[in-house]
Amino acid sequence: MKVNPQDPNQASLFMSNSPALEVKKAVHSEEQLNSELARLAEDTYHKNQHQEPDPTYNKSMTIVSNHVLTTPEIEKKALLRNSTAMFNLYMPGGEVSQSVEKMFSQYDEIMAEIRSKQPELFSKDWGISMNQSGELEITGQLSNDEKAFILEKLNANEDFVSAAKDFRSSFLAHLDFGTMGWSDYEVNESNFSTVFDLKEILNNSQGGEDFKKAWNKDFSWLELNDNISAQLKRNAEKKLPSF
């Protein structure tokens, strides 16, 4: 049969017997293009863009800092501690000055007794120190018998020995809390005996006539401070700066 596509009857028959036609969108349709551009935008590496590396250690980690934040209360306590230390180190009513003054008040009596027994000792060079155990020691170029004799006279005076121990303990206790001055020097229990000669301190704590008139006593805390400073400068190492 001759097919005439323009015949309505034959056209319907033709369409019913033909397989269905599927209309596909063009590969480069606008929708597909936009989708592809979006994907590329996500995958594209930009040179100046920060790229987070993959973690190589995924366990939890604790970070500890040694930096201590200060507060007004901490600063107030530090200021009070510093002012207390400065008072006890340098001032006439402080612990250092009072302990040396107690030694000073016993010193003349002890020296008078030594002079009456062995006057030749006063022409010799010797000193008095306190060791790490808190015991008095005699230094200098003396015989063992001479050292033992002087030490016996010192230890017999309990007030002197007690005051000497108070001087060492109060000086060391307040030194680390002070600022500048004596606190610049490295002094501790182990080297205290090599830094301070108590005999030199006591021999140089006598006030002059003007001081005696003003303070009505022989012991001078000003002379004491000068001698402590001199012995520190001569016998102690300065502390290393802390950063």
pLDDT digits (tens, 9 = 90+) for 75-96: 777 788 888 999 999 999 999 9
The H or E element spanning position 138 is strand 136-140
Residue type, position 207, single letter:
G
3-state secondary structure of 127: strand
**Rounded to 5 degrees, what are φ and ψ at 220?**
-115, 115
Higher pLDDT, 40 or 184: 184
State the average pLDDT over residues 13-20.
45
115 band by pLDDT with thresholds 50, 70 and 90:
very high
SS3 content of the chain, % helix, strand, coil (to 5): 55, 5, 35
Beta carbons of 136 and 154 less than 8 angstroms apart: yes
